[in-house]
Amino acid sequence: MKTREITIGGLLAALALVIPLAFGGVLGIVIPPFSATLASHVPVMLAMLISPATAVFVGIVSAIGFLIKLGPVIAARAAVHAVFGYVGAKMIQRGYSFPVALAVTLPIHAVLEAIVVMPFGFDFYKAFVVVGVGTMIHHTIDSAIALAVFYALNPILKSKAVNIKN
């Protein structure tokens, strides 16, 4: 990893920790058995723009934050962030745009979160309809936030000679 990747990855990882630990109650939405913390996907989504390794790292740190704050079920769901982050980052490396990578990773994210809760006693309906559909909605909202941050910062980053793809 390059120094730039490590630095930005560290900042995004810190954000991935702060969101569940400090804002989990404030930004949290609970519709049992589903829960969501708004903006929790944004750090890994932005990490996809840096590199696959950075996206995986930020996803793992996110899972640790959720383990500390909300326990093993939510942490298992958050661990999926590393997987969809890796896929999205590889897509961006191959020339796909950030919005396309976010759209393609949506069903991957939702299905994996649905599968990962099943060993915790979730039946098919609760896993795939409640958690899966809830994750799709949450991913869409966080994608909009990530895109807003990206498009707001992109001119600044480009003017500073930081190479981030559109």
Q: What is the pLDDT of residues 40-86, one digit of tens each?
A: 999 999 999 999 999 999 999 999 999 999 999 999 999 999 999 99
Mean pLDDT of 93-109: 97
Over residues 125-150, the pLDDT tens digits come to 999 999 999 999 999 999 999 999 99
Q: Does residue 43 have a cis bond before it (omega within 30 degrees)? A: no
| Beta-carbon contacts of residue 29 (< 8 Å; ≥ 6 apart) | 35, 36, 37, 38
pLDDT computed for residue 1 by the predictor: 73
Q: How confident is the model at residue 157 (pLDDT cuts 50, 70, 90)?
A: low
Q: Quote the CA–CA distance of 22 and 73 in Å, as a whole number.
A: 19
Q: Where are the domains of the chain?
A: 3-159
* Higher pLDDT, residue 155 or 19: 19
CATH 1.10.1760.20 given to domain 3-159: yes
pLDDT tens, 113-125?
999 999 999 999 9
pLDDT confidence bin for 164, thresholds 50/70/90? low
CB atoms under 10 Å from CB of 67, counted, come to 17
From CA 126, how far away is CA 119, in angstroms rounded?
12
